Chain A
Amino acid sequence: MPNADDVSIGTLVQNFLRRIQGVLVLVGIGAVVYFLQGIAQLLLVAALLAYLLNPLVSRLEVRTSRTTSTLIVFGLLVGVTIGLGTLLGPVVQQQVQDVQASVDAQRVTAVIERLDRRLSELSAQFGGGPLNLKEQLSQEAREWTNGLVDMAPGLLGLVTNVVLVPFLAVFLLRDGPQIKRGLIRFVPNRYFEFSLEALHKIDIQLGNYFRGLVLEIAIVSVLSIAGLWMLKVPAFVLVGLLAGITTVIPYAGSLIGGSVGVLIKLASTGSLAAAAPVLLLFLTIQIADEAFIQPLVFAQAVDLHPLEVLLAVWIAAQFFGVVGMVLAIPVTSAGKVVVSEGAALIQQYQFS
């Protein structure tokens, strides 16, 4: 039988752990993110996937268990992915071959030389020296090629991730509500109701944001593919999808993705006049995205300041590489939602 001293020490330790458990959890999350960046990236992508699919699983849960609903939704996702892959795979392969066939190295060199001459003339008028654009581009191209070769081991990792992410996402999706409840247990009593309400409001805002983002990507992709097809740009499906995905970067997203289309058109025709309509197409899509699509799909806009965009993309690129760059804006926007909703709610609460 325990004596009184044992009980009091036990209670003291228990109370101490209870009081610092929130800090322990935060430190744990920080350590995981810092030391296991690879796993943190995987978890982030899996969590995003699970978050996007959660409404579908919740709807199916009316008729069957959560496990079955999760498996049905994932089964459908895998089926659609395989179906699209089967349908689009040959088209994409054909388009890549078309680009390889239509891109004439001599034609590209001729365009660059012409551009170099004109810019050097312009530079001379203002008292500057020759630009040597061709030499600079060759240097850039060599660096890019080396970069691509260095990325090869990363690509192997990407294949592993393609298997791991859905596996993680299935568990996160199925056990999401329990994970959330489990984590809320660590919140100290004084912040408990506030945390519940804040999580609920943030959940609504983030859900709207991410579903809006998916819709925006889909609309921009379809518009880009249609436009590129009409302008007879090789690899229109690939370039269109790229422009759609890069639209997550505000202000210049689809232009960045679309610039690949401009380059392909330039390389395949050797004519600036032929490439100009492609540039015009993406300018129009970018303006339409900012003016019409975003106000339509985002119920409450998550506006980021251009400086925030720049900093987010730069920091994410430093720590998490290419995947980080693509995820930088959604994660920053999500962070902004969390902070602004939390700040709005915190004023309504009295803590003690």
Chain B
Amino acid sequence: MDSFWGNIFRETDEESVYSLLRDIPLFDELSSGELSSVKSILHRREYDPEEVLFHQGNPGVGMYIIQEGTIEIVYEPTDDTLAELSDGDFFGELALLNETPRSATAVARTESVLYGLFRPDLLGLVRRDPSLGVEILLRMSQVISERLIQTNEQVQQLREQLSHLKEAARGT
């Protein structure tokens, strides 16, 4: 039975949210029922061009999934663009695990629609449905560990490049 408030605050693009979630590695192995539980804790937000999602240094509260639009991740002290993300990308997932401050600023470059998943809601879901919570957290740790492996490989490559440069400098 649809609830009273559900009717008042009805969202229009239900199906597109499911397909959006299925494409995110964190949720790609969840059943329709489990996806429905995740969808029930998402917050839909709309942003105008140049609107800031969050500032570097603000407390990290959760992650965003881009349904449509372009989001730029900017390192504030130098104004360097760290990444430009678009439809289907997600960011800020580390904030789901701990309360560390945001490491960069996120700005909408075009009109954008995003879905936010936030730590208090995720913790609530974990308490209500521990098996689903474990599944999401396990998948999250897999995604983070894959990124860690990639980062380690990049660090290794950079170290090798650095040692080559040092040797070349000694030779000259």
Contact = CB atoms under 8 A, between A and B. Distances in A.
Do A and B pair up? The answer is: yes
B109 to A, nearest CB: 15
Q: Provide the main secondary structure of the chain A interface.
A: helix
Given A189-B47, A352-B55, A62 B6 contact: no
Given A62-B129, A189-B47, A196-B120, A182 B59 contact: no
Contacts of A348: 58-59
A349 B52 CA distance: 13
Nearest to A55: B127
Contact of A200 (B58, B116, B120): B120
Interface in A179-210: 179, 181-182, 184-185, 189-190, 192-193, 196-197, 199-200, 203
A190 B127 CA distance: 29
A171 B3 CA distance: 9
B52 A190 contact: yes
Interface residues of A, number: 28
B44 interface: yes
B9 A58 contact: no
A171 B4 contact: yes
Contacts of B119: 200
B3 A174 contact: yes
A175 B116 CA distance: 20
A209 to B, nearest CB: 18
Contacts of B127: 58, 62
Interface residues of B, number: 31
Nearest to A194: B58
B124 interface: yes
A160 interface: no
Interface string A67-96: 100000000000000000000000000000
B98 to A, nearest CB: 14
A182 B5 contact: yes
Given A175-B3, A349-B58, A352-B52, A181 B128 contact: no
Interface in B1-15: 1, 3-6, 8-9
Interface of A: 58, 61-62, 67, 171, 174-175, 177-179, 181-182, 184-185, 189-190, 192-193, 196-197, 199-200, 203, 345, 348-350, 352
14 contacts: A62-B127, A62-B130, A175-B3, A175-B5, A177-B124, A182-B8, A192-B43, A193-B54, A193-B58, A196-B43, A196-B118, A348-B59, A349-B55, A350-B55
